[in-house]
Amino acid sequence: MAEGQFLFSKELDVAVRVVHLACALCQRVQNSLLSSNGSQVNSKDDDSLVTVADYSVQAVVSRILSEYFGSQNLSIVAEEDAQTLSKSDLLQEVVNTVNESISEAPKFGLKISNVPVGPSQVIEAIGRCSSSGGPKGRHWVLDPVDGTLGFVRGNQYAVALALIEEGRVVLGVLGCPNYPVKKGLVNHHHQLTSEISSASPDMWDKGCVMYAKRGAGKAWMQPLIHGELKLDSFESARSIRVSSVKDPALATLCEPVEKANTSHSFTEGVAHSAGLRKKPLRVYSMVKYAAIARGDAEIYMRFARAGYKEKIWDHAAGVLIVQEAGGVVTDAGGRPLDFSRGIYLEGLDRGIMACSGAVLHEKIIGAVDSSWECSLL
Protein backbone atom coordinates (compact mmCIF):
# COMPACT_ATOMS: atom_id res chain seq x y z
CA MET A 1 0.00 0.00 0.00
CA ALA A 2 1.10 3.54 -0.74
CA GLU A 3 2.93 5.43 1.96
CA GLY A 4 0.59 7.75 3.81
CA GLN A 5 -2.50 5.68 3.10
CA PHE A 6 -3.01 5.11 6.81
CA LEU A 7 -2.34 8.72 7.81
CA PHE A 8 -5.31 10.10 9.76
CA SER A 9 -7.21 6.81 9.39
CA LYS A 10 -8.39 6.81 13.01
CA GLU A 11 -9.26 10.50 12.85
CA LEU A 12 -11.31 10.04 9.69
CA ASP A 13 -13.08 6.98 11.05
CA VAL A 14 -14.11 8.79 14.24
CA ALA A 15 -15.05 11.97 12.35
CA VAL A 16 -17.35 10.17 9.92
CA ARG A 17 -19.06 8.27 12.73
CA VAL A 18 -19.53 11.35 14.90
CA VAL A 19 -21.03 13.29 11.97
CA HIS A 20 -23.51 10.45 11.36
CA LEU A 21 -24.42 10.64 15.04
CA ALA A 22 -24.74 14.44 14.87
CA CYS A 23 -27.01 14.18 11.82
CA ALA A 24 -29.31 11.80 13.69
CA LEU A 25 -29.44 14.31 16.56
CA CYS A 26 -30.27 17.15 14.14
CA GLN A 27 -33.04 15.20 12.47
CA ARG A 28 -34.77 14.61 15.80
CA VAL A 29 -34.46 18.26 16.81
CA GLN A 30 -35.62 19.52 13.40
CA ASN A 31 -38.68 17.27 13.46
CA SER A 32 -39.51 18.52 16.95
CA LEU A 33 -38.85 22.11 15.96
CA LEU A 34 -41.16 22.00 12.95
CA SER A 35 -43.99 20.72 15.12
CA SER A 36 -43.42 23.21 17.95
CA ASN A 37 -43.82 26.96 18.38
CA GLY A 38 -40.15 27.82 17.94
CA SER A 39 -39.22 27.43 21.61
CA GLN A 40 -36.01 25.66 20.63
CA VAL A 41 -34.58 28.71 18.86
CA ASN A 42 -32.81 31.80 20.20
CA SER A 43 -31.22 34.83 18.57
CA LYS A 44 -27.56 35.67 19.21
CA ASP A 45 -26.10 39.15 19.67
CA ASP A 46 -25.54 39.48 15.92
CA ASP A 47 -29.21 38.54 15.29
CA SER A 48 -28.25 35.18 13.81
CA LEU A 49 -30.20 32.15 14.99
CA VAL A 50 -29.02 29.41 17.31
CA THR A 51 -30.94 26.24 18.20
CA VAL A 52 -30.84 23.31 20.57
CA ALA A 53 -29.19 21.38 17.74
CA ASP A 54 -26.30 23.88 17.36
CA TYR A 55 -25.33 23.63 21.01
CA SER A 56 -26.04 19.91 21.36
CA VAL A 57 -23.97 18.88 18.33
CA GLN A 58 -21.04 20.98 19.51
CA ALA A 59 -21.17 19.44 22.98
CA VAL A 60 -21.46 15.88 21.65
CA VAL A 61 -18.65 16.26 19.11
CA SER A 62 -16.41 17.93 21.71
CA ARG A 63 -17.00 15.15 24.22
CA ILE A 64 -16.37 12.33 21.73
CA LEU A 65 -13.21 13.91 20.30
CA SER A 66 -11.86 14.46 23.80
CA GLU A 67 -12.50 10.83 24.76
CA TYR A 68 -10.81 9.49 21.64
CA PHE A 69 -7.91 11.92 21.34
CA GLY A 70 -7.50 13.27 24.88
CA SER A 71 -8.71 16.62 26.13
CA GLN A 72 -5.36 17.99 27.33
CA ASN A 73 -3.93 18.95 23.94
CA LEU A 74 -7.17 18.91 21.96
CA SER A 75 -7.79 22.05 19.91
CA ILE A 76 -11.32 22.59 18.58
CA VAL A 77 -12.41 25.68 16.64
CA ALA A 78 -16.20 25.95 16.62
CA GLU A 79 -18.97 28.48 16.31
CA GLU A 80 -21.03 28.38 19.51
CA ASP A 81 -20.14 30.09 22.76
CA ALA A 82 -20.45 28.44 26.18
CA GLN A 83 -21.14 31.69 28.00
CA THR A 84 -24.11 32.44 25.76
CA LEU A 85 -25.59 29.00 26.43
CA SER A 86 -25.08 29.32 30.18
CA LYS A 87 -27.47 32.30 30.15
CA SER A 88 -29.94 30.71 27.75
CA ASP A 89 -33.30 29.12 28.46
CA LEU A 90 -32.27 26.35 26.06
CA LEU A 91 -29.70 24.87 28.45
CA GLN A 92 -31.79 22.09 30.03
CA GLU A 93 -33.14 20.96 26.67
CA VAL A 94 -29.58 20.90 25.33
CA VAL A 95 -28.53 18.70 28.27
CA ASN A 96 -31.38 16.29 27.56
CA THR A 97 -30.55 16.17 23.84
CA VAL A 98 -26.85 15.58 24.51
CA ASN A 99 -27.59 12.67 26.84
CA GLU A 100 -29.97 11.10 24.35
CA SER A 101 -27.35 11.36 21.62
CA ILE A 102 -24.53 9.97 23.77
CA SER A 103 -26.69 6.96 24.64
CA GLU A 104 -26.95 6.22 20.90
CA ALA A 105 -23.20 6.52 20.23
CA PRO A 106 -22.54 2.73 20.37
CA LYS A 107 -24.90 2.24 17.40
CA PHE A 108 -22.45 4.27 15.37
CA GLY A 109 -19.42 2.31 16.52
CA LEU A 110 -18.35 4.99 19.00
CA LYS A 111 -17.08 3.65 22.32
CA ILE A 112 -17.49 6.41 24.90
CA SER A 113 -18.56 6.79 28.50
CA ASN A 114 -22.33 6.54 28.82
CA VAL A 115 -22.51 8.37 32.16
CA PRO A 116 -25.21 11.07 31.91
CA VAL A 117 -23.93 14.66 31.84
CA GLY A 118 -25.34 17.70 33.56
CA PRO A 119 -25.38 21.40 32.67
CA SER A 120 -21.83 22.04 33.91
CA GLN A 121 -20.39 19.22 31.78
CA VAL A 122 -22.25 20.47 28.69
CA ILE A 123 -21.00 24.01 29.26
CA GLU A 124 -17.48 22.64 29.72
CA ALA A 125 -17.68 20.62 26.48
CA ILE A 126 -18.83 23.62 24.47
CA GLY A 127 -16.25 25.84 26.13
CA ARG A 128 -13.54 23.40 25.07
CA CYS A 129 -14.21 24.53 21.49
CA SER A 130 -12.73 28.02 21.93
CA SER A 131 -9.45 27.53 20.07
CA SER A 132 -8.47 30.13 17.50
CA GLY A 133 -6.60 27.70 15.23
CA GLY A 134 -3.48 28.98 13.50
CA PRO A 135 -0.52 27.79 11.39
CA LYS A 136 0.95 25.32 13.89
CA GLY A 137 -0.36 22.10 15.37
CA ARG A 138 -3.59 20.22 14.88
CA HIS A 139 -7.02 21.84 15.03
CA TRP A 140 -10.47 20.31 14.63
CA VAL A 141 -12.89 22.75 12.98
CA LEU A 142 -16.61 22.33 13.56
CA ASP A 143 -19.76 24.03 12.34
CA PRO A 144 -22.41 22.14 14.33
CA VAL A 145 -25.32 23.32 12.17
CA ASP A 146 -24.28 25.25 9.09
CA GLY A 147 -27.30 27.01 7.63
CA THR A 148 -29.35 27.42 10.80
CA LEU A 149 -31.97 29.43 8.90
CA GLY A 150 -32.44 26.52 6.52
CA PHE A 151 -32.58 24.19 9.52
CA VAL A 152 -35.41 26.04 11.25
CA ARG A 153 -37.32 26.30 7.96
CA GLY A 154 -37.13 22.56 7.38
CA ASN A 155 -34.76 23.01 4.45
CA GLN A 156 -31.09 22.33 3.73
CA TYR A 157 -28.37 22.48 6.39
CA ALA A 158 -25.11 20.67 7.11
CA VAL A 159 -22.93 19.37 9.94
CA ALA A 160 -19.32 20.14 9.01
CA LEU A 161 -16.20 18.74 10.67
CA ALA A 162 -12.66 19.20 9.39
CA LEU A 163 -9.14 18.63 10.65
CA ILE A 164 -6.39 21.18 10.02
CA GLU A 165 -2.76 20.21 10.55
CA GLU A 166 0.07 22.72 10.19
CA GLY A 167 -2.27 25.16 8.50
CA ARG A 168 -3.69 22.77 5.88
CA VAL A 169 -7.06 21.03 5.84
CA VAL A 170 -6.31 17.29 5.86
CA LEU A 171 -9.76 15.80 6.57
CA GLY A 172 -13.26 16.99 5.73
CA VAL A 173 -16.62 15.46 6.64
CA LEU A 174 -19.94 16.98 5.62
CA GLY A 175 -23.27 15.64 6.85
CA CYS A 176 -26.29 16.73 4.78
CA PRO A 177 -29.42 15.28 6.41
CA ASN A 178 -31.91 16.72 3.91
CA TYR A 179 -29.88 16.33 0.74
CA PRO A 180 -31.29 13.82 -1.80
CA VAL A 181 -29.12 10.77 -2.22
CA LYS A 182 -30.41 10.29 -5.75
CA LYS A 183 -28.67 12.71 -8.07
CA GLY A 184 -31.50 13.02 -10.60
CA LEU A 185 -33.85 14.49 -8.01
CA VAL A 186 -31.49 17.43 -7.46
CA ASN A 187 -31.21 18.18 -11.15
CA HIS A 188 -34.99 18.14 -11.50
CA HIS A 189 -35.53 20.97 -9.00
CA HIS A 190 -33.53 24.18 -9.11
CA GLN A 191 -34.67 25.34 -5.69
CA LEU A 192 -33.39 23.05 -2.94
CA THR A 193 -35.53 24.74 -0.31
CA SER A 194 -39.16 24.09 0.59
CA GLU A 195 -39.60 21.32 -1.99
CA ILE A 196 -37.45 19.05 0.17
CA SER A 197 -39.49 19.49 3.33
CA SER A 198 -42.81 18.97 1.57
CA ALA A 199 -41.68 15.83 -0.25
CA SER A 200 -41.94 12.40 1.35
CA PRO A 201 -38.69 10.88 2.68
CA ASP A 202 -39.21 7.81 0.49
CA MET A 203 -39.47 9.95 -2.63
CA TRP A 204 -36.30 11.87 -1.86
CA ASP A 205 -34.27 9.09 -0.25
CA LYS A 206 -32.65 11.97 1.61
CA GLY A 207 -29.63 12.26 3.82
CA CYS A 208 -25.96 11.61 3.20
CA VAL A 209 -22.47 12.10 4.60
CA MET A 210 -19.59 13.07 2.31
CA TYR A 211 -15.95 12.90 3.32
CA ALA A 212 -12.41 13.19 1.97
CA LYS A 213 -8.77 12.95 3.02
CA ARG A 214 -6.11 15.22 1.53
CA GLY A 215 -4.11 13.57 -1.21
CA ALA A 216 -6.47 10.61 -1.71
CA GLY A 217 -7.65 11.91 -5.08
CA LYS A 218 -11.24 10.97 -4.39
CA ALA A 219 -14.15 11.80 -2.11
CA TRP A 220 -16.81 9.49 -0.73
CA MET A 221 -20.52 9.57 0.04
CA GLN A 222 -22.66 7.38 2.30
CA PRO A 223 -26.41 7.47 2.87
CA LEU A 224 -27.26 8.42 6.43
CA ILE A 225 -27.12 5.45 8.76
CA HIS A 226 -30.44 4.63 10.40
CA GLY A 227 -29.43 1.30 11.90
CA GLU A 228 -25.92 0.56 13.10
CA LEU A 229 -22.66 1.70 11.52
CA LYS A 230 -20.32 -1.31 11.35
CA LEU A 231 -17.09 -1.13 13.29
CA ASP A 232 -14.79 -2.40 10.58
CA SER A 233 -15.87 -0.81 7.30
CA PHE A 234 -17.95 1.75 5.45
CA GLU A 235 -19.49 -0.70 3.01
CA SER A 236 -22.23 1.69 1.94
CA ALA A 237 -19.80 4.39 0.76
CA ARG A 238 -19.26 5.13 -2.90
CA SER A 239 -16.85 7.52 -4.55
CA ILE A 240 -18.15 10.81 -5.93
CA ARG A 241 -16.77 13.00 -8.68
CA VAL A 242 -17.35 16.51 -9.93
CA SER A 243 -19.18 17.13 -13.19
CA SER A 244 -17.29 16.92 -16.48
CA VAL A 245 -19.15 19.92 -17.95
CA LYS A 246 -16.77 22.55 -19.34
CA ASP A 247 -19.16 24.72 -21.37
CA PRO A 248 -20.56 27.59 -19.24
CA ALA A 249 -23.81 27.43 -21.21
CA LEU A 250 -24.39 23.92 -19.80
CA ALA A 251 -23.17 24.66 -16.28
CA THR A 252 -25.34 25.14 -13.19
CA LEU A 253 -24.48 27.90 -10.74
CA CYS A 254 -24.99 27.23 -7.05
CA GLU A 255 -25.57 30.24 -4.78
CA PRO A 256 -26.91 31.13 -1.32
CA VAL A 257 -30.67 31.51 -0.83
CA GLU A 258 -30.47 34.63 1.30
CA LYS A 259 -29.48 37.90 -0.35
CA ALA A 260 -27.76 38.97 2.87
CA ASN A 261 -25.19 36.20 2.37
CA THR A 262 -24.03 37.20 -1.10
CA SER A 263 -24.62 39.72 -3.87
CA HIS A 264 -27.11 38.03 -6.17
CA SER A 265 -26.97 40.95 -8.58
CA PHE A 266 -23.19 40.79 -8.97
CA THR A 267 -23.26 37.01 -9.28
CA GLU A 268 -25.92 37.37 -11.97
CA GLY A 269 -23.67 39.80 -13.83
CA VAL A 270 -20.74 37.39 -13.65
CA ALA A 271 -22.95 34.54 -14.85
CA HIS A 272 -24.12 36.60 -17.81
CA SER A 273 -20.57 37.63 -18.67
CA ALA A 274 -19.38 34.02 -18.49
CA GLY A 275 -22.19 32.75 -20.69
CA LEU A 276 -24.17 30.82 -18.09
CA ARG A 277 -27.74 30.19 -19.19
CA LYS A 278 -29.27 27.82 -16.64
CA LYS A 279 -31.31 28.97 -13.67
CA PRO A 280 -29.23 29.09 -10.44
CA LEU A 281 -29.53 26.34 -7.86
CA ARG A 282 -30.14 28.22 -4.61
CA VAL A 283 -29.19 26.27 -1.51
CA TYR A 284 -28.77 26.96 2.19
CA SER A 285 -25.47 26.07 3.88
CA MET A 286 -22.36 24.15 2.87
CA VAL A 287 -24.62 21.80 0.93
CA LYS A 288 -23.50 23.98 -1.99
CA TYR A 289 -20.05 22.38 -1.75
CA ALA A 290 -21.73 18.96 -1.65
CA ALA A 291 -23.60 19.81 -4.86
CA ILE A 292 -20.33 20.69 -6.62
CA ALA A 293 -18.49 17.62 -5.31
CA ARG A 294 -21.20 15.23 -6.45
CA GLY A 295 -21.74 16.82 -9.85
CA ASP A 296 -25.18 18.34 -9.21
CA ALA A 297 -23.80 21.79 -10.02
CA GLU A 298 -20.59 23.10 -11.54
CA ILE A 299 -20.03 26.55 -10.05
CA TYR A 300 -20.36 28.18 -6.63
CA MET A 301 -19.63 31.88 -6.21
CA ARG A 302 -19.80 33.78 -2.93
CA PHE A 303 -19.23 37.52 -2.63
CA ALA A 304 -19.97 38.51 0.95
CA ARG A 305 -21.19 41.94 1.96
CA ALA A 306 -18.60 44.62 2.72
CA GLY A 307 -17.01 44.19 6.14
CA TYR A 308 -17.98 40.54 6.53
CA LYS A 309 -15.11 38.15 7.30
CA GLU A 310 -15.47 34.54 6.18
CA LYS A 311 -14.96 31.99 8.96
CA ILE A 312 -13.01 28.80 8.47
CA TRP A 313 -15.76 26.54 9.83
CA ASP A 314 -18.06 27.67 6.99
CA HIS A 315 -15.69 26.33 4.32
CA ALA A 316 -12.96 23.94 5.52
CA ALA A 317 -14.76 20.60 5.15
CA GLY A 318 -16.55 21.50 1.93
CA VAL A 319 -13.46 22.91 0.23
CA LEU A 320 -11.42 19.74 0.78
CA ILE A 321 -14.24 17.47 -0.39
CA VAL A 322 -14.63 19.45 -3.63
CA GLN A 323 -10.89 19.44 -4.23
CA GLU A 324 -10.49 15.70 -3.67
CA ALA A 325 -13.52 15.06 -5.91
CA GLY A 326 -11.64 16.80 -8.72
CA GLY A 327 -12.79 20.40 -8.34
CA VAL A 328 -10.99 23.71 -7.87
CA VAL A 329 -11.59 26.16 -5.00
CA THR A 330 -9.85 29.55 -4.71
CA ASP A 331 -10.61 33.14 -3.91
CA ALA A 332 -11.83 35.34 -6.76
CA GLY A 333 -8.25 36.17 -7.66
CA GLY A 334 -7.40 32.50 -8.20
CA ARG A 335 -5.40 32.06 -4.99
CA PRO A 336 -5.82 29.09 -2.62
CA LEU A 337 -7.84 29.72 0.53
CA ASP A 338 -5.61 30.12 3.59
CA PHE A 339 -6.85 28.18 6.64
CA SER A 340 -3.71 28.88 8.68
CA ARG A 341 -4.51 32.37 9.96
CA GLY A 342 -6.98 31.77 12.75
CA ILE A 343 -10.75 31.61 12.68
CA TYR A 344 -11.07 33.87 9.63
CA LEU A 345 -10.10 33.37 6.00
CA GLU A 346 -7.83 36.39 5.97
CA GLY A 347 -6.60 38.01 2.77
CA LEU A 348 -9.45 36.91 0.52
CA ASP A 349 -9.50 38.56 -2.88
CA ARG A 350 -13.15 39.68 -3.23
CA GLY A 351 -14.87 36.33 -2.79
CA ILE A 352 -14.77 32.55 -2.99
CA MET A 353 -15.00 30.47 -6.17
CA ALA A 354 -15.60 26.72 -6.42
CA CYS A 355 -15.75 25.05 -9.82
CA SER A 356 -15.94 21.51 -11.11
CA GLY A 357 -12.74 21.88 -13.09
CA ALA A 358 -9.89 24.13 -14.17
CA VAL A 359 -11.44 25.11 -17.53
CA LEU A 360 -14.64 26.48 -16.00
CA HIS A 361 -12.69 28.02 -13.14
CA GLU A 362 -10.50 30.05 -15.50
CA LYS A 363 -13.54 31.31 -17.41
CA ILE A 364 -15.38 32.34 -14.24
CA ILE A 365 -12.32 34.11 -12.82
CA GLY A 366 -12.08 36.06 -16.07
CA ALA A 367 -15.78 36.96 -15.88
CA VAL A 368 -15.35 38.18 -12.31
CA ASP A 369 -12.49 40.45 -13.35
CA SER A 370 -14.45 41.94 -16.23
CA SER A 371 -17.57 42.41 -14.12
CA TRP A 372 -15.83 43.82 -11.04
CA GLU A 373 -14.84 47.08 -12.68
CA CYS A 374 -18.48 47.78 -13.53
CA SER A 375 -19.84 46.92 -10.09
CA LEU A 376 -20.34 49.04 -6.99
CA LEU A 377 -19.26 46.29 -4.57
Going by the annotation, the residues of the binding site for Mg(2+) are 79, 143, 146, 314
Taking residues 91-108, report their average pLDDT: 96
For 324, the enclosing helix (H) or strand (E) is helix 316-324
Residue extent(s) of CATH 3.40.190.80 domains in the chain: 248-372
Fold of the domain built from segment(s) 9-240 = Fructose-1,6-Bisphosphatase; Chain A, domain 1 (3.30.540)
pLDDT given at position 7: 87
Residue 65: phi and psi, rounded to 5, are: -60, -40
Statement: residue 201 has pLDDT above 70 = no
Express each pLDDT in 295-325 by its tens digit.
999 999 998 887 889 999 999 999 999 999 9
Q: Is 148 a catalytic residue?
A: yes
Going by the annotation, the residues of the binding site are 79, 143, 146, 314
Q: Look at residue 76 and give its three-state secondary structure.
A: strand
pTM (global) more than 0.85: yes
Residue 49 burial by Cβ neighbours in a 10 Å radius (0-12, 13-18, 19+): middle
Fold of the domain built from segment(s) 248-372 = D-Maltodextrin-Binding Protein; domain 2 (3.40.190)
Q: Is 205 a catalytic residue?
A: no
**Dist CA 185 CA 181 (whole Å):** 8
pLDDT given at position 222: 94
Residue pair 292/181 in contact (Cβ under 8 Å)? The answer is no
Taking residues 348-356, report their average pLDDT: 93
Residue extent(s) of CATH 3.30.540.10 domains in the chain: 9-240
Name the catalytic one among 54, 97, 262, 296: 54
Name the catalytic one among 51, 97, 148, 252: 148
